[in-house]
């Protein structure tokens, strides 16, 4: 199931994407469905919520009551989780990216934080902060937690995943590489530096998130072309590891890392500038696009 958050006259609403249409989960034909209004609350319902949503969608597509089925192209999509409680990033988690950076494979995950205020949705225009010239792109498979997880075992970890989306881990490399000590979380948490979407594909469809192609284009030129099969630490391993130290809650996001080809390590380096368009694609999820602009 594809779960989206979109703009309506009532404010942000939850919907299910079915082909080129979106079914509003908040009401059908003027009747309240009883489903939660936010993505985190919906994900916390687990299988019960998905079953209820399926019934709403089946009825809506069959009876098509006014105002409940919308053309996807007519809607403005927001980030599926607009303000995650936590966004945990994982650095150097692809073998090919570790190799291009010249680092050995790590024995434990390298973690950092992206603050939730950096989140923007599909087709957002992200402004380059003043005096910054090394803005970089990173396509990432993002794990969205569906159930409260504390010290879970790796073998059970996928049961705590609500679904997956695409995340662009935009990074100000000046703050990550050119200062001592490095300010990684600041470099990755500036306004707009976490484009996410276009929707969440639930874990019952994508399983453990393995074997998915991940790609980036900048102005139509392909920059990254990897696969989640190259992850050093799998989705299950990351959920298990992180949950040993901090409780993961519904709506929390884990950005699982990026494959080789980021701008900072190309020869010559390639950084984003005003007017650039960044397109990210992950198999079986979709496409996330972002426009880059100068600061106002």
Spans of all domains in the chain? 2-77, 81-294
pLDDT number for residue 31: 64
CA 224, 226, 232, 238 torsion-angle sign = positive
pTM score of the predicted model: 0.97
Measured in degrees and rounded to the nearest 5, phi and psi for residue 96 equal -70, -30
Measured in degrees and rounded to the nearest 5, phi and psi for residue 237 equal -65, -40
Question: Among 163, 168, 246, which residue's Cα sits nearest to residue 208?
Answer: 163
Q: Judge residue 294's burial from the number of C-beta atoms within 10 Å of its C-beta, 0-12 exposed, 13-18 middle, 19 or more buried.
A: exposed
Selected from 3.90.850.10, 3.40.50.150, 3.40.50.300, 3.30.450.20, the CATH number assigned to the domain covering 81-294 reads: 3.90.850.10
214, 259, 266 from 269: Cα distances, Å: 21, 16, 5
Compute the distance between CA of residue 173 and CA of residue 64 in angstroms, rounded to an integer.
49
Length in residues, the chain: 296
CATH numeric code, 2-77: 2.30.30.230
Pairing between strand 125-128 and 27-28?
unpaired
pLDDT in tens, the chain (296 residues): 999 999 988 889 999 999 999 999 987 665 667 899 899 999 999 999 999 999 999 999 999 998 899 999 999 999 999 999 999 999 999 999 999 999 888 999 999 999 999 999 999 999 999 999 999 999 999 999 999 999 999 999 999 999 999 999 999 999 999 999 999 999 999 999 999 999 999 999 999 999 999 999 999 999 999 999 999 999 999 999 999 999 999 999 999 999 999 999 999 999 999 999 999 999 999 999 999 999 97
Question: Among 272, 278, 236, which residue's Cα sits nearest to residue 254?
Answer: 236
pLDDT number for residue 261: 98
């Amino acid at each position: 199931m594809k779960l989206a958050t979109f703009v309506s006259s009532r404010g942000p609403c939850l919907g299910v994407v079915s082909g080129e249409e979106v079914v509003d989960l908040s009401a059908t034909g003027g009747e309240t469905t009883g489903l939660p209004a936010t993505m985190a609350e919906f994900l916390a319902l687990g299988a019960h919520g998905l079953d209820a949503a399926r019934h709403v969608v089946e009825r809506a597509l069959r009876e098509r009551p006014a105002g409940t089925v919308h053309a996807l192209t007519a809607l403005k999509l927001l980030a599926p989780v607009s303000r995650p409680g936590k966004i945990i990033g994982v650095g150097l988690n692809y073998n090919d990216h570790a190799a291009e950076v010249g680092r050995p494979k790590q024995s434990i995950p390298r973690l950092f934080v992206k603050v939730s205020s950096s989140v923007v949705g599909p087709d957002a225009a992200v402004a380059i902060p003043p005096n910054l010239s090394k803005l970089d792109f990173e396509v990432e498979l993002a794990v969205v937690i569906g159930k409260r997880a504390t010290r879970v075992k790796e073998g059970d970890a996928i049961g705590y995943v609500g679904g997956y989306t695409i995340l662009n881990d935009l990074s100000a490399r000046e703050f990550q590489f050119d200062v001592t000590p490095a300010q990684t979380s600041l470099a990755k948490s500036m306004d707009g530096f976490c484009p996410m979407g276009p929707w969440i594909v639930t874990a019952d469809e994508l399983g453990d998130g393995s074997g998915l192609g991940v790609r980036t284009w900048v102005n139509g030129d392909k920059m990254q072309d990897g696969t989640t099969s190259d992850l050093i630490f799998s989705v299950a391993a990351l959920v298990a590891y992180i949950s040993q130290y901090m409780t993961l809650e519904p709506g929390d996001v884990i950005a699982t890392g990026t494959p080789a080809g980021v701008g900072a390590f190309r020869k010559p380096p390639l950084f984003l500038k005003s007017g650039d368009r960044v397109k990210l694609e992950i198999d079986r999820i979709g496409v996330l696009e972002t426009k880059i602009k100068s600061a106002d």
